[in-house]
Amino acid sequence: MTNSDSFARLTVGDFVDRLASAEPVPGGGSASAIAGSLAAALLAMVCRLSLDRPKYERYRASLEAALDAGDRARQSLIQLADEDARAYSGYMQARRMPRESGEEQAARDSAVRDAARRSSQAPLEVVRVCASLMEFIGSIAGRSNLNAASDLEVAARLVAAAARGAAANVTINLPSVGDESFTGTATAEVGGLVQGIERELLVISERVAAGTLREPQEA
């Protein structure tokens, strides 16, 4: 993929059509990143619907921080969708390398390991961004426009789905990396982040269901 092929340049319909095609790129990794980007956009929307309204003025600091995080994450996640597609394209190219001779086999094996590592790094970063996003969503649950509380819960659920999807892509690529240390570290990090995201989702859902405001965050 080149910069001109970025998913950011596509309409929603075009991206969905590409996703539905027989081509392997974009796939689940890019779809997960785009889902996370939608969640970040919803977070930003809820913040904008809350700022400069007297009822939510005491939450300004939290709302401004979450707005900044949402705007940055939605751009980052679209870029990660592109990176995931590029990485997987590289992996497929490596798998197609010739392996008739011993030298060719060794070159192919090395290329596959390198490509598998890159293919696990992009979704790993998606999980990291999702974990950060969920914290910001949680920070304004009960501290933002109550009329948009369901939108905030949708954001949280999209983040959880995006993280789960990205985590699955990390896991499936790790066996081909051929690095036990990297594999162990990545597996532990992804597992911990996803568990934290799921716990925060439950808290957010409860706060949304309560339909009430809570105290501002401490400075």
Q: How much is the average pLDDT of 30-37? A: 98
| pLDDT confidence of residue 4 | 52
User: Does 15 reside within a domain?
Assistant: no
CATH of the domain at 131: 1.20.120.680
Q: Is the distance from CB of 28 to CB of 161 less than 8 angstroms?
A: no
User: Does 14 reside within a domain?
Assistant: no
Residue 216 has pLDDT above 70, yes or no: yes
pLDDT in tens, 42-85: 999 999 999 989 999 999 999 999 999 999 999 999 999 999 99
User: Does 4 reside within a domain?
Assistant: no
Q: Which domain holds residue 42?
A: 25-210
Tell me the pLDDT of the chain averaged across its residues. Answer: 95
Neighbours of 141 (CB within 10 A): 23
| pLDDT confidence of residue 219 | 67
What tokens does 117 get? Answer: 């590592």
Q: Is the distance from CB of 207 to CB of 143 less than 8 angstroms?
A: no
| pLDDT confidence of residue 145 | 98
User: Does 154 reside within a domain?
Assistant: yes
Residue 1 has pLDDT above 90, yes or no: no
| pLDDT confidence of residue 3 | 46
Give the type of residue at 206. E
Q: Could you tell me where the DSSP H helices lie in the chain?
A: 12-20, 28-48, 60-95, 102-140, 149-173, 180-210
What tokens does 91 get? Answer: 């992996």
Q: How much is the average pLDDT of 26-31? A: 95
User: Does 200 reside within a domain?
Assistant: yes
Neighbours of 211 (CB within 10 A): 9
User: Does 203 reside within a domain?
Assistant: yes
Quote the pTM value. Answer: 0.94
Give 121's Cβ-side CA count (13 Å radius).
Answer: 12
How many domains does the chain divide into?
1
Residue 107 has pLDDT above 60, yes or no: yes
What is the share, in percent, of the chain residues with pLDDT greater than 70? 98
pLDDT in tens, 143-166: 999 999 999 999 999 999 999 999
Locus of tokens 């066996």: 175
User: Does 116 reside within a domain?
Assistant: yes
User: Does 10 reside within a domain?
Assistant: no
Q: How much is the average pLDDT of 189-203? A: 98
